[in-house]
A and B are shown apart, each in its own frame.
Chain A
Amino acid sequence: MILVKNLLKQYGHGPSAVQALKGIDLKVEEGEFIAIMGRSGSGKSTLLRILGLLDMPSGGEVQIDGINALKLAEKEKARFRLQMLGYVFQEHSLIAELTVLENVYLPAVSDLANTNYKKRAGEILEIVGLKDRVKHYPSEISGGEQQRVAIARALMNQPRTLFADEPTASLDADSSKVVLDLFSRLNKDLKQTIVMVTHEPEDRQYVDRVVWMKDGRIVNG
């Protein structure tokens, strides 16, 4: 479960300061699939990056599964991101020198106790429908397939929560549908908690709830 209390984010100082988040309160239940929607500049990506521990707020609190995540030291945050969270970027987030399979099992390589990570990566690639692409490099597959590889990588360490920052923004309609269907399946079949930022109104059909943002505030949710 994610609990956000009075989250603030300010860029810059003085008169030119921009208040990106103006006191966000949000609760995401375990197994929930929510979409954060709003216009450009509404603060939805800023919120997601803070929830994904990629950025720090100016104030407020974020609890993930009872842990005050913002209080963690940098090393602990990295471990938390590696073990508890999955993050899917908008585009181009794969390591070009690694094959599809290697990109997927990358987050598990440092875990010496995990000797089955290659097998698990193969299984996840099967789930995302890319079993036949394991030996390909990112440049050899389509944008939609790359996003599915990124999703598979985010799932590698069985995260409690999956964050996705406009994962279909750079995809065509068919590829977008495949990715969103995949999120939907992960949520329904594996009870995966998913927090997704999106621009597309039609994406609402895939999620349990939509959180609308405007000018750094949640306007419903």
Chain B
Amino acid sequence: MKTILGNLKLALFLAFKSMFKGNKWALGLIIVVMAFSFVNLIFTSAVISGVMATMDSQMVNTVFSNVIVSPRQDKYYIDRADEIEARISQVAGVSETCAHLNTRGFIEYGWKEKALPWDRVKSGSWNVLGIDPLQEARVTTIGHNMIDGQYLDENDTSSIVLGVEVAGGKSAQTSNFLTLGGVNVGEKVRVSYPNGIQREYTVKGIFRAREMMQADHLAFVTHKEMVSVLGRSEFANRASEILVKADRNGVEENLAAALAATGIDLEIRGWKEYGGSYRSVISTFEIIGAIIGGTGLVVAAIVMFIVIYINVLSKKRQIGILRAIGIPANAVLGSYLIQALTYAVMGITLGWLLIRLVLQPYFIFNPIDFPFGFLSLNIESARIIGSAIGLTAAAVLAGLIPSWAVMRESIIQTIWGV
């Protein structure tokens, strides 16, 4: 024990003298390389994770909310929707609910200019949702994303609100021929419903939820109007789906289970189950993230290894001298291990400070404008811990392997190279 403590004391002495009394530039370079390797690892994964988090949050905030309650598979509608909503609201963890009464609509713009009834005008089929604007605003953010005009009022019956990818025009990402071609607020559109009813609406507003795949492809009328279109009084208390907003994200599965436990005889699913193509996008991002993260870690580890390896090899003769005067091998190895660990800790700490004090604030104030939303860095604790452990392990190996290799050479070879 005394020997171990003695060697540890000597190793600490040699390590700290070597680092802090040695070449300051070399020390600075190693720490900066470590710091930027760490930043690179975290930054890349944080961007990818940020993409996924933004997409997730857009899906939750604009399309699905957290949990979707839909009719049993043999039904088109949820009956006694008010009663169901009331029961749902009682469940712990539920923040708000809103009901949708949905149907498909064939929407036309400029139909009055048609020369013949079968001439094609700017048109297409989209989902038309009947909503309670007040309830909807508590669950989704569509109402806050109007790029032109206004959101619906509860009593609107002759107005429609269109997603930007339905309306078309300069703000849309979709090719113009797949949209209404640039309808403006105040202009008329005609909606043909599957039951044969046609209605003309004034476009009251156009929203851009920045959720290109689904939300921006929707059209909204009021629930009252949709009941009138469907034409039967019993639809007044029916819903195609009920969106359930949780008091926090990430609890969808538990909340769905809690709702199912109340005995509601309906399909209850977390939003991710409706992801569809979105899920494959996320899966792709996850794979890309894993590949970039893994590759980054390997590259960072190799960089670390090379930098520390060169540093150790440059002191080969010194190691030989230490051995020649009888310094125990464990103390010499220990000193290089301590140096490597110190480089790792200092580099990772500096990298972490750069991320926390520079990169993260920068991206909070200057988020990247991605097509599906504003992107900030999403730094996950697990990634930080994993990267820190990976880099530390690389640094330790980089410190130990060359010094161990030098220790295996004869003293003569180490000092004189013969």
Contact = CB atoms under 8 A, between A and B. Distances in A.
Interface string B1-19: 0110111011001100110
A107 B326 CA distance: 7
Contacts of A55: 410-412
Interface in A111-161: 111-113, 137, 153-154
Given A97-B21, A109-B9, 12 more contacts: A49-B412, A52-B324, A74-B329, A75-B329, A79-B326, A79-B328, A87-B324, A89-B324, A98-B17, A107-B325, A112-B2, A153-B325
A106 interface: yes
A190 to B, nearest CB: 19
B321 interface: yes
Contacts of B18: 97
B318 interface: yes
Contacts of A109: 6, 9-10, 13
Nearest to A114: B6
B327 A107 contact: yes
Closest 5 CB pairs between A and B? Answer: A82-B326, A81-B326, A110-B6, A110-B10, A97-B21
Chain A interface: which size bin? 20 to 34
A96 B22 contact: yes
Interface residues of B, number: 29
Most chain A Cβ neighbours within 10 Å, of B14, B321, B326: B326
A110 B317 CA distance: 21
Interface string A95-107: 1111000100011
Contacts of A86: 325
Contact of B324 (A81, A95, A110): A81
A111 B2 CA distance: 9
Nearest to B332: A78
A213 interface: no
A80 B9 contact: no
B324 A83 contact: no
Nearest to B17: A97
A47 interface: no
A2 to B, nearest CB: 17
Contacts of A170: none
12 contacts: A54-B411, A74-B329, A79-B328, A86-B325, A87-B325, A97-B21, A97-B22, A98-B21, A109-B9, A110-B6, A110-B10, A111-B6
A112 B12 CA distance: 14
Contacts of B238: none
Contact of A85 (B317, B326, B411): B326
